[in-house]
Amino acid sequence: MKYLNKTEVNTLSERFTIAVTLLRYGIYVNLMTGKLFYLPFHPKIQCKSLWLIRHGKTLAVDHGEFMNNDSDNSKLTEEGVIELAQLSKSISALYPDVILVGPLERTLETFEVLSQNLDCKPFVKKCDYLLGINNGVWGGKTFEMLDLDNVCVFFQRECKRNIFAKTSDGDSWGDVLFRCTKLLKDINKNYSGKNVLLVSQGSIYQGLKILLHREKSPWDGYETGAMFGTMTSKEKKLGYGKIFKIY
């Protein structure tokens, strides 16, 4: 924490709320370092299956830039739309009973493209909990454009795995995990025994993997470069417009 000022970290009250909530999911959080540790129990999920489609490729991906919730570079590219249109039959094969769609323009547009060729008729709902990391003032910038203070935040958030580190006007991983707990509660309460499909962001996929203990350790398999705009799309493995199984 000593590297971060009060605007670059969750408040003590927010940290406490996040930490207490995650304890119910078998996750211990160090309030000072923001590090996660699994406890020997994990939560149950009541749906039959849980899948996530990451939004289609955006301008930010092609330019190697960060996005925030509504930056101009978060719009889908023509290539991204074409790739999504080819995905519709794969979605129908999952027989989703419920599709929950994130509230951002790029996730709503992603579902709009997908829905044009669906062979099934699931229940569809926009879900405000399906909101991943907002990069705040980093939106529209490449990693090389960040000043030293913001590089420090990036290092704490993405290398030190401090879930309380956050950008100015943005979110922390702790914020994402907290929203994911609300999502799981909603799924368990309303969609028990259903095949559930999420249309959202990559950080929601990672957050749910952590909450459900899908790996041996919380951050196993996580690649910063594949999640955020630190490399151009030609330099990294792409997960945009792809289907991921969570449960």
pLDDT in tens, 221-246: 898 877 775 554 454 456 899 999 99
Strand bridging mode 243-245 / 27-29? unpaired
Query: Which among 152, 159, 162, 132 is positioned nearest to 29, based on CA atoms?
Result: 162
Confidence of residue 8 (pLDDT cuts 50, 70, 90): very high
Query: Which among 111, 152, 107 is positioned nearest to 129, based on CA atoms?
Result: 107
Q: What is the pTM of this model?
A: 0.94
Q: Are 46 and 215 in contact (CB under 8 A)?
A: no
Q: What is the mean pLDDT of residues 149-175?
A: 95
Q: In what order do the strands lie in the sheet with 123-126?
A: 123-126, 98-101, 195-200, 49-54, 243-245
CATH homologous superfamily for the domain 6-245: Phosphoglycerate mutase-like (3.40.50.1240)
Query: φ and ψ at 96, to 5 degrees?
Result: -65, 135
Confidence of residue 16 (pLDDT cuts 50, 70, 90): very high
Distance from the first to the final alpha carbon of the chain? 34
To 5 degrees, how large is the angle CA 50–CA 91–CA 242?
Answer: 80
Higher pLDDT, 2 or 76: 76
pLDDT tens per residue, range 124-154: 999 999 999 999 999 999 999 999 999 999 9
The domain limits of the chain are: 6-245
